[in-house]
Amino acid sequence: MRRSAALIMAGAVGAAGLTAAVLPQTMASAAAGCRVEYRIVSQWQGGFQGDVRVTNLGDPINGWSLGFDFPNTGQRVTQGWSATWTQSGTRVTAASYSWNGNLPTNASTSIGFTGSWSGANPVPTNYSLNGHLCNGPVTPTTGVPTSNPPTSNPPTSAPPTTPPPTGTTPVAINGQLRVCGVNLCNQFNRPIQLRGMSTHGIQWFGSCYNNASLDALANDWKADLFRISMYVQEEGYETNPTAFTNQVNNLVELATARGLYALIDFHILTPGDPNFNLERAKTFFAAVSARHANKNNVIYEIANEPNGVSWGSIKSYAEQVIPVIRGNDPDSVVIVGTRAWSSLGVSEGGNETEVINNPVNATNVMYAFHFYAASHQDNYRAAVSRAATRIPLFVTEFGTVDYTGSGPFDQASSTTWINLLDSLKISYANWTFSDHSESSAALLPGTCNGGNYSGTGVLKPSGQFIRSRIMTPDNFPTS
């Protein structure tokens, strides 16, 4: 949650000049050749992840279209990144975006995709660049990809063949999550979107989180996700590490009992440099990851909203904390906060390229993005649209009001935002499932003093809107 007065200035700063990535209308032809390297990064029964690196051996081009043929009619591209992917029959086409369309002579670019197959999965043939056939491709079937992010987050291993789920909760259906390409994927290695709610600071609103409220979230709201926001400062963890660790553990158990994913949020805000809390983070995550290592529903958010600090410093912090978690829980998804209150740098005049060009050196990592709908609009949405083709994003916090958590409910901008997240399969948690007096809180003041959390009668306008969006069917893929 953003409380700093500095955001009054930051809210007006951004990448106003940036526009959503689009394919150029015309593309200059490549003259005299190209070379392609194709790698199967990871393969499992019925699915695989491929990496394609193309080198332009002809004249410089500004805008490219790479084509190739799958030899088997059972091979399909299911999700791609760093290009616009289409498939007609066995012919696959990947067209450049505006930001990677410039390809000088002897320059290379890398793109990637996840695919499905049946029968066999032979390597593609008949590569062409802007209509010109490429030289014979190098086609190793294994190896570490050399492509741009997001292939820094390939599946860590081929998933086992998983029988159909026997339960109906989000965790029963989806099981252990992983990052595949730019997506959050389930046990069937299919992209999914989780939708849910965030607590407010548990030091202030602990009475809001109990059996009755979690029952309402799981059964009435039909949420997938419960984010547990543990402030480090502001009367939080630093005042009593043992008590706050126990409180977080208890809330994870409440979520687990209801088949919800539990997102543990190490809620740093002031100071904005996560390295100030590095040792606290190591201690906390060592404890909670050891406690929940055998669960398949826990996600770790290691730095809520870094601000006033470089991406390099945030990355350094992440690369010291993640191994602590991995020591106990090697398979979990970890979410790293981004610069400028987790705005990918936009609120401090930057953009997503700093993360794309220098990703965290770890697997199963996603990057946080936060927004408040009344304050953060077109230029923030453009940054998300661009970034989502390159790196895996998770909106771990957003509000339907302005960046202070107050002000009128902006239904129009909130609708535009959620429609965008839905289209990109970006998971989200709304701020907040609490009865705080601020307009961003879902519950009416005093709700947490009673025992009823279900229905619309206990909800503010923001809560009614978010509940209606969360409770629509998930339709999680299981094959």
Q: What is the pLDDT of residue 22?
A: 31
**Which residues are identified as catalytic?**
305, 397
d(CA 206, CA 240): 15
pLDDT tens digit string along 163-172? 556 688 999 9
Q: What is the pLDDT of residue 116?
A: 85
List the single range of 30-44, 102-116, 139-153 with lowest mean pLDDT. 139-153
Q: Are residues 103 and 60 in contact, defined by beta-carbon separation less than 8 angstroms?
A: yes
Q: What is the pLDDT of residue 41?
A: 67
* Mean pLDDT (whole number) for 268-283: 97
6 confidence band (pLDDT: 50, 70, 90): very low
pLDDT tens digit string along 113-136? 878 888 888 889 999 999 888 864
d(CA 355, CA 312): 9
Q: Are residues 466 and 442 in contact, defined by beta-carbon separation less than 8 angstroms?
A: yes
pLDDT tens digit string along 9-29? 333 323 222 233 333 333 334
Of residues 97 and 261, which shows the higher confidence score? 261
**Helix (H), strand (E) at residue 8:** helix 6-10
> What mean pLDDT value characterizes the chain?
86
Residues 6+ apart with CB under 8 A from 233: 268, 269, 270, 271
pLDDT tens digit string along 213-223? 999 999 999 99
Q: What is the pLDDT of residue 47?
A: 76
Q: What is the pLDDT of residue 111?
A: 83
Give percent of the chain above pLDDT 90: 68
Residue-range domains of the chain with CATH = 34-133 (2.60.40.290), 157-470 (3.20.20.80)
Q: Are residues 402 and 374 in contact, defined by beta-carbon separation less than 8 angstroms?
A: yes
* Mean pLDDT (whole number) for 298-308: 97
182 confidence band (pLDDT: 50, 70, 90): very high
Sign of CA pseudo-dihedral 115, 119, 123, 129: negative
Check whether 140 has a pLDDT greater than 70: no
* Mean pLDDT (whole number) for 395-422: 95
Amino acid identity, position 100: N
Q: Which tokens belong to 280? A: 């606290």
Q: What is the pLDDT of residue 100?
A: 73
Of residues 360 and 3, which shows the higher confidence score? 360
List the single range of 56-70, 411-425, 428-442 with lowest mean pLDDT. 56-70
390 confidence band (pLDDT: 50, 70, 90): very high
DSSP label of 407:
S
Q: What is the pLDDT of residue 25?
A: 30
d(CA 76, CA 422): 23
Check whether 437 has a pLDDT greater than 80: yes
Q: Is 422 helix (H, G, I), strand (E, B) or coil?
A: helix
Q: What is the pLDDT of residue 121?
A: 86
Q: Which tokens belong to 71? A: 């030899």
pLDDT tens digit string along 343-387? 999 999 999 999 999 999 999 999 999 999 999 989 999 999 999
